[in-house]
Amino acid sequence: MTHHYSLEHLQRHLEGQWQAPGRRIRWEQGPTSKLHPDFRVVEFEPGDKHDFWIYSTLGMSLDLEGRPIELHLFAPQQNLNLVELLVAAAAFHRTEAPLALHHTLNLGRPWLPGSACDHGLIAVPYLDGPDLELLRTPQGVVSNYWLIPITESERDFKVRMGWEELEDMFEVSGLDYLDPNRPACV
């Protein structure tokens, strides 16, 4: 089934969950020709619910077969390079291999300058719960997942031991997901 869903509905859902207005950004560089023409990344300033920046895809799965997903990531400060990372992830999802919950992907560079985290883990949005995760539309459910920046060694651990073990290591180590200079948990 090909998925069509309202980007306005999706953005209102995100704004309501994060209690902050979103600013749509159209990225003009990189693999944008591989994206749906209406695709955007939405930037959320720190708001009432979260005191950090949030970047979310908007329309990543439009007109694709399979379960529609959107990705978001958190950042300690505004950084438009994160828009580019989400554009690249969306292009990969549309042209190389469909992404899904618990998948990892190579970001191709550190998520923020100087960080060892150059991969990402697609996880449920633990900080926001199922109210954010599942957007019910007349056309079906759109899943909003958290893209957590991880190191290559954490990705390798996940491949060997599984995503549950990796998330357990995050919990045990007290993962500071906003710290670009955090050490690897494994």
Alpha carbons 53 and 60: distance in angstroms, whole number: 20
Beta-strand runs (E) in the chain: 22-25, 40-44, 53-58, 69-75, 104-106, 117-123, 134-137, 140-151
Alpha carbons 15 and 128: distance in angstroms, whole number: 12
Compute CA distances 31 → 84, 137, 138, whole Å.
9, 28, 30
Domain ranges of the chain: 7-151
Q: Please report the pLDDT score of residue 89 as a whole number.
A: 95
First to last CA, the chain: 40
- Which amino acid is it at 71? L
Q: Please report the pLDDT score of residue 4 as a whole number.
A: 73
Burial of 40 (0-12, 13-18, 19+ CB in 10 A): buried
Closest CA to 179 of 112, 127, 118: 112
Q: Tens digit of pLDDT per residue, the chain (186 long)? A: 566 788 999 999 999 999 999 999 998 887 788 899 999 999 999 998 999 999 999 999 998 888 899 999 999 999 999 999 999 999 999 999 899 999 999 999 999 999 999 999 999 999 999 999 999 888 789 999 999 999 999 999 999 999 999 999 999 999 999 999 999 999
Contact between 69 and 126 (Cβ < 8 Å): no
Q: Please report the pLDDT score of residue 40 as a whole number.
A: 96
